[in-house]
Structure formats: C-alpha cells, structure tokens
Structure 1
Amino acid sequence: MAHGESGPVGPAAPEAVMRARLGRECLYVPSCRFGLYLALRHWCEPGGRVLMSPVNDDVILFVVLAAGLRPVQAPLSATDGSLDVDAVPDSVWSGLSAVLTTNLYGHPDPAGRLRERCDRLGIALIEDAAHAIGSEVDGRPVGTFGDAAVFSLSKHAGARAGGFLALADPALRAPLEQARDALLDPVALTAELAYAVRPYAEATVRALRLAPAAWWALRLLGLQEREEIRMPLRSAELQRALASAPSLSGFHSWVRVDMHDYRVAPGRLRWRRIARLLARLDDRLAAHRAGTERLLATRWAAPGSAGARVQPLFRVPLLVHDRDAAVAALARRRITVGYLYDPPLDTYAGERFTDPSPSPANAARFARHALPVDPLRAGPVIDVLGAAGIEPARGLPGD
C-alpha cells in the first residue's frame, strides 16, 4: 500500500499515537537515518558544521557527511556518554550550524542546556531519540526540546520498521513530507519479504548458535554486514563521495549498512506490525525501566547511578574492566551484546572526515569499557557477570 495511505494500515494512526505522546507534529519516516538526513538538509546549509557525539553509530557520521556537513566531535561524560556542554570550547560553538544529540542507549543528553545554547547562537538543535522513546529530561520527553527529533520503531517498540520525525513547528510538516516523498523508494516486494522473514532468520541464528549458514542468510537479507564493530571506512571512496554531497545516493553504500530498506516506503505488513506493537509500547517501557533499575543497582553500574531517576533505557551501559571477557561470558549463555561504538568516531574517521573532539579521553574511556546490555535480560546478565568474575571499570570519575 502506498506510503501516503491514511486508512487502517496507513501512517495516520501511528503518527497520531506519537503526536499524543509528544505534543508535537509527527511524520513517519522509513528509518531514523533517513529522518536525520531530512532534518539536517532542512536546517543546515551545505558546508555547515554539526556538533555530535563521537560514541555513536558510524552510519550517523555518514548521514551527516551525506547532508554536505562537517561532523564536529564533542567532549563526553566518561560515566554515561552524554554530551559535556561545559567542555565544548567557545571557538567550537561559534562555528556551528547545528547540534545533534545522541541520547546514547536512552540516557538523555542535557537537552535544556543545549536548547539554551542553540537559541543564543541562533542554530538548530536536532535530537536523535532513537534509543530514548521513553526517556525524560526535567519532566519533559526527550525529543521535545529540539527543532526536530527522530524516534525509532526498531528499538523499544520492536517493530523493526521506521520511525518518526517530530517537529516543533507544525507548519513544517508539509514541506518535510514533500521532501520525504521525493527521496523515498517505492514499496518493494523484496523489502517486504525480508521484513517478514527477519524475525524467523534471527530466531534461526539463535537456535543454530550463530552457525555460518544462519549468518549467510542474514547477510543475504542485508541484516548483518559488519565483521567488526565499525564498518570499513573506505577512505578513498569516501573522499570521492564527498564531491556528490548533499546526496544520499553518493553515500548509499555506507548509509544502507545493516538496513537496506532505510529509504523504502512501507507496505501493508509493516503498517500492521507497527500499529500492533505501538499499542504495547507502554508495557515495553515499563519492562525496560524495571530491568534498568536492577542493572543500575549492580557494582558494574556507572558511578553516581544509585538514586538517579531511572529511565527506560534501551540498553544499560554497564562499565566493566575487561569488556571482551564480559562479552565472551555472555555469549556462552547465548546473550548477544550489540550497539558497541568503539573506537570513537574521531579515531575511526580521522581528521580528514571529521573535527576531533577537543577532549577525547572521556569518550575513548567510555567506548572501551561500556557493556550495553538489554534490560529485559537483567537477571541472566547479572548472574553471568557475577559467575564469570567480571570486574567493574577502574579509575572512572566518581569512584
């Protein structure tokens, strides 16, 4: 069914659900990366500079580059990976076109302070709330501070299909909807089939304990393409692609990684699953919050976590001394650790493609020690780490 359909399996009902949650106009997008590209193109002139977190998915770096912008890596907190507003030099602030938050694993960036700074500078604040659909800052939902915010349906909701672009100014819906539709690929039968079989393929991977045949199936469907945490940068090709920016097409081979349908219009199957899972979202958020609370009470939690407001984190970043040993111990119990972002993006991409953080040590430390675990599996994770003798990270602020 066409992406603009407003009937029982179209976007109207899911958009209304998110509009009610946020109090903002919401536009369906086929992926967060696609939504971020739309927002960056609307609010930033090509050649501008965007402050962002160096502990983030490399796909987001390529989205910023595809929008014709220069990524500028920010200093971070060593305990939760949030943007450290006070550590950004005035010389960096003065040259920015926008700030892009991350809300890593659902832990909020200081959105209120970032909003104030952006207002003083007259630049856009764009919130990446892919991990943070239920998180709050100062009693307000993450995603209600920026000029725009993107939310994922693949994370807490588990729909594995698109998300929303939330807008502070409802008058911008029409032009951004037009820009979205101009960039969308039509509904594709192969994409719908891949979407339909993905849950079964992933179940097969678990059942076969990551057998080569199962990995091959995932790769064939475009669901698993990384050999390492970071995808290959391919510097020479990336340098040539910069000449095509702003353009998604020139960066397609990077932006599509692990999500080949990132710009494909949804079909009936997706709409039905989205509607079904959105109806269960509050229950999922409650379960994430309960698991987060258990994990933050352990000795591997970041210093200062005890007594803090518990967010329904998408993943809880425990801080461990030897992450490889922790990952291996969990893998033996068939608990997979994903969403690792190591090394930081300035180390990964180099000064050729990004401005490095003026204070990189905290980001490097957090990226090296963070063990992002699913709060829905809090009990088994705690048991495994305890039995394996995994030690907390040492020498962090607040120890």
Structure 2
Amino acid sequence: MVSAYAELEHLMRGRLGRECLYVPSCRFGLYLALRHWCAPGGRVLMSPVNDDVIFFVVLAAGLRPVQAPLNARDGSIDTAAVPESVWQGLSAVLTTNLYGNPDPAPSLRAHCDRLGIPLLEDAAHAVGSESGDRPVGAHGDAAVFSLSKHTGAKTGGFLAFADPALRTELAAARDELLHPARLSAELAYLVRPYAEATVRGLRLVRAARATMRLLGMEERAEIRMPLRPGELRQAVTAAPGLAPFHSWVRVDMHDYRLAPGRGRIRRTTRLLDRLDTTLAAHRAGTATLLDSPWGAPGPGPVQPLFRVPLLVADRDAAIAALGGRRITTGYLYDPPLDDYAAAFTEPSPAPEAARWFARHALPVDPRRAEEVIEVLRASGAEPATPQGPDGG
C-alpha cells in the first residue's frame, strides 16, 4: 500500500510544493496535526462559521476552541478585530478558508510568528485557492486537505507540512491511529457512485432520505448535529483521544479513520488526476455567480470556490426555490459555533458579523451557476448586504 499512497502524495506534492502525507480524511489529518503541534490544554483560534465536526476534532485533541471575529462578506477571519488580549495565550491559529475563500494567511502567519505559535490551515474547501500569491496550505506549519470535496472522491485527504524531516514521525502517528481496512467498507465505497446515480436518475432522492430517517440513519435533522452536552462534558474530561468523541467526529463519514483498500486508492488517484479540469469549471462558475446580484466578490483573482456563498435576504425561501429544481443546498453552518456550543468554547469578541453571514450565506455549486441564477431571479430572491463593519 505504500506505493499506492506514494502516487497520491506525489500528485499533491507537485501541486503544493510541500511534503504531503495521505490520510483517510481531512478530519483525521486535522486531529493528527493538532496532536503533533499543540499540547493538550491549549487554546486555538478558529472560525465560528465552520463544520461542527471540526469543532469536535479540536475538543478531541484536548484543546479549547476560541472563536474569531469574521468578515461578514465572505466568512474569513478578521485579524484586525482580534484583540491583543485574545492573541496572547493562544497555542495555535486554525484557518477555515470557508467554501474556498482564503483566510488572510500572510497576516495570520505574521501574528503566529510574533507569538511563536503554529499556523494550521484547514484547506478542505480550498484546493486550488491562493492567498498572498501562494497556494492555500503553503503558509502554515501544516495544512489539511480533503479529497471529498472538489475531486468528489468522498474519501481521503492529505496532511501537508513545511518540514520534510517530520514525515517519518507523522506517518508513524497516522498508522497508529488508523483502523484496518474492511472488505465490506471497500465494497460499499466502490458501489456507492452507481447507487447514487440510480437514485438521482429515478428521482428517488427524497424517498431515500425519508427511508434513512425512518431507519435512524439520518444523523442531522438540523444544520448542526445534536450537541448532547452531558455526554460531551464526559468526553472532554477524557481528552485527548478520538474514541470518546467518535459519535460526533464520525458524522457524515463513518470511514474517517479507516485504512483504504486498493480499489479506493485507485479511484481516488484517477479523480485527483482530473483536478485541473474540475478547478477550471469551479472557477468559471464562481466568476458567473460573483457577478450576480447576490454575489460578494472580494479582492484579488477569482478563486475556484467549492461552493459560492451568495448573500440572500430570505435564505430559507431561496433554498426551497432551488429544491424545486432539484438543486440541493448543503454546507450550511448556522448558528455560529459560539452560539451552538457556548459552554465548550470561548466566544468571539465581535460575534455579529459571523451571525449575519451564517444567517444569509447560501452556498451553491458553481458548476450549476446559470441554473441557480435563473431560479433566484424567477423566485424574486432579494440580495442581502452587510451593514457596517459587523454586518449587522
């Protein structure tokens, strides 16, 4: 299996210019990075508009999340709004690069260097995005990437790091955490694309989801998974460790720490080899959507966003209108983490911009840009505009 890993790692190393270690999922890679670069008990600055799984990974590493103020237009970390009292005492900074919009990595790198702490980049949404004329993932001490997003592999990822001398140590730590490959899981992974295509072709998506809910297999009835604070407090006392947090960290990806079989690796390699074509389609659709009334273009070149966060006044109505055309909307992160899990995190010193963005951001697939614009225009969807520095 080493040779199969090596081919994937070679492809990503050539793209990023850094040492890359294959991991079974981005969340697994992030846990590995946090355990290596941060001592338990430390405080980690992160975005409050993020997947709750990432929040639980930070807790699983024995760390205290600290929520950062955000830019209300794109959900990036607003470094200027972080008070010096928050910077002091941090153990690390974790970027999100939400939907592929880069966090201000050069500025965050400067703060981390000043404080002597690591910068860790979550680049799950940001393969192909750039910040400061460098790829996202090339600024931090380490970065984690997902192969579930742009490539559509729905498995796998990378831990990239600046110091190649760490490879042996990190690979050993990865292998110790991995669960052995299972034939049943490999067969289910290999037939999944065909089963999903059949469900879509027969227009049975709603029926399939209803069946999953009936069988208790639907893990998210709402945008955020159930917090279960009593159980979570017990898990926090047992940190660091993945086992106490398994029921939270596994949500949406039960194979997140499973060693891959050969079929899974071969399929992932084929998809990664086509990434440039995929990124071109994402970049073209992103440009179209950002030029629409609901777009919020930022400075610099257009990025190949994984999802484009349109800003819509009535998001629920827009989601319903898109659903009528079989355009699903996912990757919503509302409410912000400090509202969702207040007892388990330090709150943002300026939370309103994050709340505004989480309430109005409508993340859509840029490859369906023309359809999305047509539906929003026909439905009369009104754009939302942040008011003032906090987007209130």
TM score, norm. by length of structure 2:
0.96
Q: Secondary structure at the match of 2:45?
A: strand
* Contact 1:44-1:97 within 8 A present in 2 as well: yes
Q: 206, 209, 212: which one pairs with 1:211?
A: 206
Corresponding position of 2:23: 29
Cα deviation for residue 243 of structure 1 reads 1.3
What one-letter code is carried by the residue in structure 2 that aligns with 1:6? V
CA contact (8 A) 1:78 1:396 kept: no
Q: 1:6 aligns with which of 2, 18, 24?
A: 2
Unaligned runs of 5+ in 1: none
Q: Secondary structure at the match of 1:211?
A: helix
Measure, in 1, the Cα distance between the counterparts of 2:292 and 2:18.
37
What is the rounded CA distance, in whole Å, between the counterparts of 2:256 and 2:216 in structure 1?
13
Cα shift at 1:208: 3.1
Aligned counterparts of 2:94 and 2:188: Cα–Cα separation in 1? 31
- Measured in 2, the distance between the counterparts of 1:220 and 1:280 equals 37
Helix, strand or coil for the counterpart of 2:370? helix
Q: Which runs of 4+ in 1 moved over 4 A?
A: 217-222
Unmatched 5+ stretches in structure 2? none
Report matched runs for 1:111-126 at 5 Å. 111-126=105-120
Distance in 1 between residues matched to 2:108 and 2:82, nearest whole Å:
11
Matched residue count: 389
- Tell me which of 354, 358, 361 is aligned to 2:345: 354
Residue in 2 aligned with 1:389?
380
| Matches for 1:253-264 after TM superposition, within 5 Å | 253-264=247-258
Given that 1:99 and 1:125 are in contact with CA atoms closer than 8 Å, whether structure 2 keeps it comes out as yes
Deviations 1:205-260 (A, max 9, x none): 433343334553599796x5211100000000000111110000000000000100
- Which residue, out of 294, 305, 310, partners 1:300? 294
Per the TM alignment, residue 202 of structure 1 is displaced from its structure 2 partner at its CA by 2.9
2:355 corresponds in structure 1 to: 364
* 1:282 paired residue number: 276
CA distance in 1, matches of 2:355, 2:215: 33
Alignment of 1:177-188 (within 5 A): 177-188=171-182
What is the SS of the residue equivalent to 2:20? strand
Q: CA RMSD in A?
A: 1.7
1:279: how far off?
A: 1.2
The within-5 A match list for 1:92-171 is 92-171=86-165
The answer to whether structure 1 residue 53 and structure 2 residue 47 are counterparts is yes
Q: For each residue in 1:25-60, what CA deviation from the matched residue of structure 2 results, as whole angstroms up to 9, or x when unmatched?
A: 000000000000000000111000000000000000
Q: Does 1:335 align with 2:327?
A: yes
Match of 1:44 in 2: 38
Q: How does 1:62-73 map to 2 (within 5 A)?
A: 62-73=56-67
Q: 1:205·1:215 contact (CA, 8 Å) conserved in 2?
A: no
Once residues 119 and 216 of structure 2 are traced to their aligned partners in structure 1, the CA distance between those partners, rounded to angstroms, is 35
Whole-angstrom distance in 1 between the partners of 2:385 and 2:95: 27
Inter-CA distance 243–106: structure 2 relative to 1 (3 Å threshold): same
Which stretch shifts more, 193-202 or 340-349? Answer: 193-202
- CA positional deviation for 1:134: 0.3
Letter in 1 for 2:349: P
Q: Tell me how far 1:395 sits from its aligned partner.
A: 4.2
Equivalent position SS for 1:11: helix
Please state if 1:245 is matched with 2:247: no
CA distance in 2 between partners of 1:144 and 1:13 (Å): 20
CA separation in 1, counterparts of 2:133 and 2:237? 43
Listed one character per residue, the Cα deviations across residues 299-338 of structure 1 (whole Å, up to 9, x for unaligned) are: 0012xx1774100000000000000000000000000000
Alpha-carbon distance, 1:192 to partner: 1.1
2:316 match: 324
Are the counterparts in 2 of residues 340 and 371 from structure 1 also a CA contact under 8 Å? yes
CA distance in 2, matches of 1:100, 1:41: 13
Task: Return the offset for 1:95.
Answer: 1.3
Alignment match, 1:310: 302
Which secondary structure does the structure 1 equivalent of 2:222 belong to?
Answer: coil
With the length of structure 1 as denominator, give the TM-score of the two structures: 0.94
Change in 2 beyond 3 A, CA 1:296/1:308: farther
SS of the equivalent of 1:311 reads coil
Per the alignment, in what secondary structure is the counterpart of residue 190 of structure 1? helix
Alpha-carbon distance in structure 2 between the residues aligned to 1:114 and 1:21: 23
Matched, 1:91 2:70: no
Question: Is the deviation greater in 328-337 or in 156-165?
Answer: 156-165
SS of equivalent residue, structure 2 residue 372: helix
- Give CA deviations for 1:338-367 in whole Å, capped at 9, x if unaligned: 0000000000001x2000100000000000
**8 Å CA contact retained: 2:286, 2:302:** yes
Aligned residue for 1:26, secondary structure, equals: strand
Distance 2:388 2:253 in 1: 37
